[in-house]
Chain A
Amino acid sequence: MTTTSDERVDRAADHRPEPASPGATPGVGAPGRPARAPHAPADTGLATYLLRLGDDALVLGQRLCQWITRAPMIEEDLALSNIALDLIGHARTLLTLAGRLDGTGRTEDDLAFTRHERDFTNTLLTELPNGDFAVTVARQLAYTHYASLHYEALAGCPDRELAAFGARAVKEVAFHRLHADRWVRRLGGGTAESARRMQRGLERVWPYTAELFDEDDLVRRLAAAGTVPSPAPLRPVWEQRVTEVVTGAGLTVPVPSWRARGGRSGLHTEEFTDLIGELQSVRRQFPGGTW
């Protein structure tokens, strides 16, 4: 419960302080093939960064799974499961890469199923409870616009595998973004009730959006070295794009008087304990099991 992933990767860093050589082990990112890769030099900074992105995708995917069989129409059961499937796919690639780069050789499943709540570094936005459909749409709006900008930038980064991931993921996220945009417009321009709920959804979610663009020492260092894109400059573009959608739907972009932060350092919401408990329950019930 108390060992953070930072401590773990720092220990690994004692052995291999050098950055990873790009594309050292091609093909290991393929999901379903847990990597016991030839040990590339550990880049714990990049690994920590990838873990954050992977946790975002995993946790949001987990939340969307909770909608399936409960959506307002069958088309949405289909759409939300489609999006969840993509997100879990992103998580698998990112966690696999992270486990390889940090030198511990942990697989995607080791990272998803054996870490404790405090070790997860997803943003609080992604773990917010689903709420009604409008809250979910608001959360999707914020995340998908962020992710498409971020993955697009990632597609240009020097690590070939990471760049390839960014290029693939940005295409998938484009559909998720379209889905969110369309629902904001429909709910904003639907009935009085749907507009009220959509506005309330935005208000609920907005204080959690700033964390997506936070830069700490790690991100600044990686961005300065040109290893990964810096998130802060993406924010104005994000603002502009979501504002266009929200105002176009006859709604108002909230101006939160407060902002949430903490997920990136493992300080989560209270509901997060249940989310992780549920995620890991079967695996924990059968120690030594093979799946």
Chain B
Amino acid sequence: MSAPTAVTGEAGQEEPLTRFEALIAQGGTIEPRDWMPDGYRRMLIRQIAQHAHSEIIGMQPEGAWLTRAPSLHRKSVLIAKVQDEAGHGLYLYSAAETLGVDRADLLDALHLGRQRASATFNHPALTWADTGAIAWLTDGAAVINQAPLCRTSYGPYARAMRRVCQEEAFHVRQGYDLMRALCEGTPEQKAMAQDAVDRWWLPAVALMFGPPDTEAGGADARTAALGAAVSRRAMAWGIKRHTNDELRQRFVDQCVPQAERLGLTLPDPAIRWNEERGHYDFTPIDWDTYRTALGDDTHWARRRIDHRRTAHEDGAWVREAATAYAAREEAGASADASGPAVPRQAQEERA
């Protein structure tokens, strides 16, 4: 339609929209009670929910090794890590709830396939070394991805991310340390470490950063344009601060020297230092590679969701009991207001 209609149609919102855009332009923070465009709210809900889902789905591959950790020290470290991820899930669901959605509904959306977790975790953790590769590579990617989110425009999300990022950095160091121990061990241990890196490199480099969105990464113009459209909007709103490919490059630049120090080979023959660019070159993540890595609708994608859904369904009677009990307590005005069943904050103790 013509311009006048658009203006009158949005007349009621014109002023708040201007104020919103000004605030974003100044690098200000949007709080739950502030006016925000529907698209901004929707994009945030989708992104925060996906992030929260990824935290709890991401507990599974490593969680599978809790009972098999090969030393009590490593077992403690892994328990603490998986516990942190559960905590991250909680902070992020809480941040999403400030946007007017319910955790229960978000979980239903995950279980029913309406929302997704990062496809990175739709891969199996086949050996103990996978727990190290996951922490080193995927948490390492997460740190790079998430550090800018500590300054994202939506206040509750930014605050949640500040807590998350501190812990993620810790996970990366522990993952690297686990890999180092394997690389300094027997030839069989080192082979296990290399095998894990061979399998987790692509999920980390391709999937943790999202689809290609620039030509700088080496993608062709059409591919770049597709991804760029999405990134541009998120960046205009201050939700994102960098393109996917920028962050991906930062990740590769960080990992290559670390892998060299470990004596491990990253499974990409194109990796080499580019003096001119001042960065490492690597095989571009084109859409085909991205799609392959997604592993959508694979056996493992299904298993992750099935595992979640089973836990959720098995626990339904417990949640119903807790709700019924809380309601009765409230009605009975009992002195002992029942708090959450968490004995302490996850952050308190660390291995």
**Interface of A toward B, CB cutoff 8 Å:** 31-32, 58, 62, 65-66, 68-79, 81-86, 88-89, 91-92, 95, 108-109, 112-113, 132-133, 175-176, 178-179, 182-183, 185-187, 189-191, 193-194, 197, 278-279, 281-283, 286, 288-291
Measured CA separation A176–B341 after assembly (Å)? 10
**CB-defined A-B contacts under 8 Å, sample of 29:** A65-B79, A68-B66, A69-B56, A69-B307, A70-B314, A72-B311, A72-B314, A73-B318, A74-B89, A75-B342, A76-B341, A77-B59, A77-B83, A78-B87, A79-B342, A81-B83, A84-B66, A85-B83, A108-B72, A176-B343, A182-B338, A194-B324, A282-B69, A286-B70, A286-B185, A286-B186, A286-B188, A289-B70, A291-B71
Q: Is B320 at the interface (CB under 8 A from chain A)?
A: yes
Pick from B128, B319, B349: contact of A72, CB under 8 Å: B319
Q: How far is the CB of A181 from chain B (nearest CB, A)?
A: 10
Pick from B74, B188, B323, B344: contact of A291, CB under 8 Å: B74
Listed from nearest, the 10 A-B pairs whose CB atoms lie closest are A72-B315, A190-B321, A194-B321, A72-B318, A175-B343, A81-B83, A69-B63, A65-B66, A282-B70, A283-B70
Q: How far is the CB of A27 from chain B (nearest CB, A)?
A: 17
Q: Is B166 at the interface (CB under 8 A from chain A)?
A: no
Q: How far is the CB of A84 from chain B (nearest CB, A)?
A: 6
**Interface of B toward A, CB cutoff 8 Å:** 56, 59-60, 63-76, 79-80, 82-83, 86-87, 89-90, 93, 128, 181, 184-186, 188-189, 192, 307, 310-312, 314-325, 328, 338, 340-344, 346, 349, 351
Measured CA separation A29–B264 after assembly (Å)? 35
Residue pair A82, B344 in contact (C-beta under 8 Å): yes
Measured CA separation A191–B328 after assembly (Å)? 10
Q: Which residues of B contact A85 (CB under 8 A)?
A: 76, 79-80, 83, 349, 351
CB closest residue in chain B, given A69: B63
CB closest residue in chain B, given A279: B67
Residue pair A291, B70 in contact (C-beta under 8 Å): yes
Measured CA separation A175–B346 after assembly (Å)? 13
Residue pair A109, B338 in contact (C-beta under 8 Å): no
Residue pair A84, B79 in contact (C-beta under 8 Å): yes
CB closest residue in chain B, given A281: B68
Residue pair A74, B189 in contact (C-beta under 8 Å): no
Decide if the interface of chain A is mainly helix, strand, loop or mixed.
Answer: helix
Measured CA separation A89–B344 after assembly (Å)? 16
Q: Which residues of A contact B67 (CB under 8 A)?
A: 62, 65-66, 278-279
CB closest residue in chain A, given B83: A81
Q: How far is the CB of B309 from chain A (nearest CB, A)?
A: 11
Contacts A69-B59, A75-B341, A278-B68 hold; do A81 and B185 have CB atoms under 8 A apart?
no
CB closest residue in chain A, given B65: A282
Pick from A75, A82, A186: contact of B321, CB under 8 Å: A186
Residue pair A289, B86 in contact (C-beta under 8 Å): no
Pick from A81, A175, A283: contact of B79, CB under 8 Å: A81
Measured CA separation A83–B349 after assembly (Å)? 11
Residue pair A92, B82 in contact (C-beta under 8 Å): no
Residue pair B311, A69 in contact (C-beta under 8 Å): yes
Residue pair A91, B72 in contact (C-beta under 8 Å): yes
Q: Which residues of B contact A62 (CB under 8 A)?
A: 67
Residue pair A75, B90 in contact (C-beta under 8 Å): yes
Q: Which residues of B contact A66 (CB under 8 A)?
A: 66-67
Residue pair A83, B343 in contact (C-beta under 8 Å): yes
Measured CA separation A109–B184 after assembly (Å)? 19
Q: How far is the CB of B65 from chain A (nearest CB, A)?
A: 8
Measured CA separation A95–B71 after assembly (Å)? 13
Residue pair B83, A133 in contact (C-beta under 8 Å): no
Contacts A69-B82, A73-B315, A85-B79 hold; do A191 and B72 have CB atoms under 8 A apart?
no
Q: How far is the CB of A173 from chain B (nearest CB, A)?
A: 10
Pick from B71, B318, B320: contact of A109, CB under 8 Å: B71
Contacts A66-B67, A69-B63, A91-B72 hold; do A289 and B185 have CB atoms under 8 A apart?
yes
Contacts A72-B311, A189-B328 hold; do A194 and B86 have CB atoms under 8 A apart?
no
Measured CA separation A132–B65 after assembly (Å)? 21
Q: How far is the CB of A96 from chain B (nearest CB, A)?
A: 9
Residue pair B341, A185 in contact (C-beta under 8 Å): no
Residue pair A81, B86 in contact (C-beta under 8 Å): yes
Residue pair B343, A290 in contact (C-beta under 8 Å): no
Measured CA separation A286–B316 after assembly (Å)? 41
Pick from A95, A108, A183, A289: contact of B341, CB under 8 Å: A183
CB closest residue in chain B, given A76: B341
Measured CA separation A279–B315 after assembly (Å)? 26
CB closest residue in chain B, given A75: B342
Q: How far is the CB of B318 from chain A (nearest CB, A)?
A: 4
Contacts A72-B319, A73-B319, A185-B325 hold; do A86 and B341 have CB atoms under 8 A apart?
no
Measured CA separation A109–B186 after assembly (Å)? 18
Q: How far is the CB of B107 from chain A (nearest CB, A)?
A: 9
Q: How far is the CB of A143 from chain B (nearest CB, A)?
A: 15
Pick from A69, A78, A193: contact of B342, CB under 8 Å: A78
Measured CA separation A206–B72 after assembly (Å)? 30
Q: Which residues of B contact A32 (CB under 8 A)?
A: 73, 351
